[in-house]
Structure 1
Amino acid sequence: MITMKDIILEGHPVLEQVANEVMLPPNKEDKETLENMLQFLKNSQDEEIAEKYNLRAGVGLAAPQLGISKRMFAVHFEDLQGNTYSDGYFNPKIISHSVEKTFLANGEGCLSVNREVPGYVSRYARVTISATNLAGQQVKLRLRGYAAVVFQHELDHLNGIMFYDHIDKQDPFLIPENAKPCDLQGDK
């Protein structure tokens, strides 16, 4: 079972590297790791389990956050429209995106960052992502609003980018050009 002690923190060199592609079909170890990452997210959102094991709630977890430099991440959340995203992805990539940008009005957080980092994180409002899911299927996901933000946050981890790298250093609350805020769990 993955716990907070398994998650590496900002400053660790793996979080600053571009992760390696996963050989497909994935080997048993990579598949089990990704399944465990998804289970961690489910556990972190279960109040009883989270309290028992002292887990911080998360909606996404990328392999580099476990010190594993491989292109895979898991997500587990529901957006305001009631769409559930709960799967693991190997070698995800953005194949198209909107010109329009968005950001979370409350800012972003990260399981690898144990501090508040105020500021707006500019993201594409809509993205289309291709990946291989845990079931071994090639999938194409069209995401918008909060879902697009979550997936981009995790994809950044695969490219050695932390969410705060997107925050304007001079003016953290500068609204990005061509951007509208999306609320915490939906898209407006």
Structure 2
Amino acid sequence: MITMKDIIKEGHPTLRMVAKELTLPISDEEKQLGKDMLQFLKNSQDTEIAEEYSLRAGVGLAAPQLDISKRMIAVHIPGVEETDEPIISTVMINPKIVSHSVQSACLTEGEGCLSVDREVPGYVPRHSRITLTYYDLEGNSHKMRLKNYQAIVIQHEIDHINGIMFYDHINKEHPFKIDDAVKVIS
């Protein structure tokens, strides 16, 4: 079971590396890694399990955050109500953004990261809509269109496999200054 002690923190060199593409079909170890990453996210969102194991809640996790420089991310975005099916719950192998909107969006409260143990204030502008391709754990190819929050989460995780941290996008001089065209999502 993945816990917070398995997640490397900012300053670790792996977080700044461009991760390697996985060769398909992926190995049994890589499949298990993907399943474990997704389970961590589910556990981190379960109040009892999170408290028992001191897990910080997360909606996304990239293999480089576990000091594994491979292009694999897991995303688990819960439904609006507790009884709803998750909006997205999957492991993505070699995810790639193939197109994106001109319009940008950012989250009102900024972004956080399991690899960053401090508050980093500021807007993180990202594309408001993306189309991405990826492979699942069984090697099936997928194409997905996402917008707003879901698109932001995926871009955050894809940044991890490209050696980019969310705060790299924040305006250093004026953290809360954004272009008028940027949509702020609450």
SS at match of 2:10: coil
Q: Indicate conservation of the 8 Å contact 1:79/1:147, yes or no.
A: no
Amino acid at match of 1:57: A
Q: Is the 8 A contact 1:101 1:176 kept in 2?
A: no
1:50 and 1:57 in contact (8 A); partners too: yes
Residue-by-residue CA offset, 1:62-88 (whole Å, 9 max, x unaligned): 000000000000000136597610000
**Offset, 1:182:** 1.5
**What SS does the aligned partner of 2:29 have?**
helix
1:61 corresponding residue in structure 2: 61
| Contact preservation (8 Å) 1:79, 1:146 | no
Provide the rounded CA distance (Å) in 2 between the counterparts of 1:120 and 1:147: 16
Q: Does 1:147 align with 2:150?
A: yes
Structure 1 alignment gaps of length 5 or more:
184-188
Partner of 2:89: 86
Normalised to the residue count of structure 1, the TM-score between the two structures is 0.94
Secondary structure of the residue aligned to 2:89 is: strand
For the residue of structure 2 that corresponds to 1:143, the secondary structure is strand
Partner residue in 1 for 2:3: 3
1:107 equivalent among 105, 110, 130: 110
Shift of 1:51: 0.5
Which secondary structure state, in structure 2, belongs to the residue aligned with residue 86 of structure 1? Answer: strand
Please list the CA deviations of residues 127-177 of structure 1 after superposition, one character each: whole Å capped at 9, or x if unmatched.
001000123210001000000000000000000000000000000001135
Q: Sequence identity of aligned pairs in percent? A: 60
CA RMSD for the aligned pairs?
1.4
Question: Paired residue for 2:17?
Answer: 17
Moved more, 31-40 or 78-87: 78-87
**Matches of 1:11 and 1:120, distance apart in 2:** 21
Whether contact under 8 Å (2:25, 2:138) holds in the other structure is: no
Q: TM-score, normalised by structure 2?
A: 0.95
Aligned to 1:186: none
For residue 120 of structure 1, the aligned residue among 104, 123, 145 is 123
Gaps of 5+ in 2: none
Residues 39-68 of structure 1: CA deviation (Å, up to 9, x unaligned) = 000000001100000000000000000000
Contact 2:97–2:133 (CA under 8 A) maintained in structure 1: yes
Q: How does 1:125-140 map to 2 (within 5 A)?
A: 125-140=128-143
Q: Distance in 2 between matches of 1:69 and 1:177?
A: 37
- Aligned counterparts of 1:65 and 1:177: Cα–Cα separation in 2: 33
How many equivalent pairs are there? 183
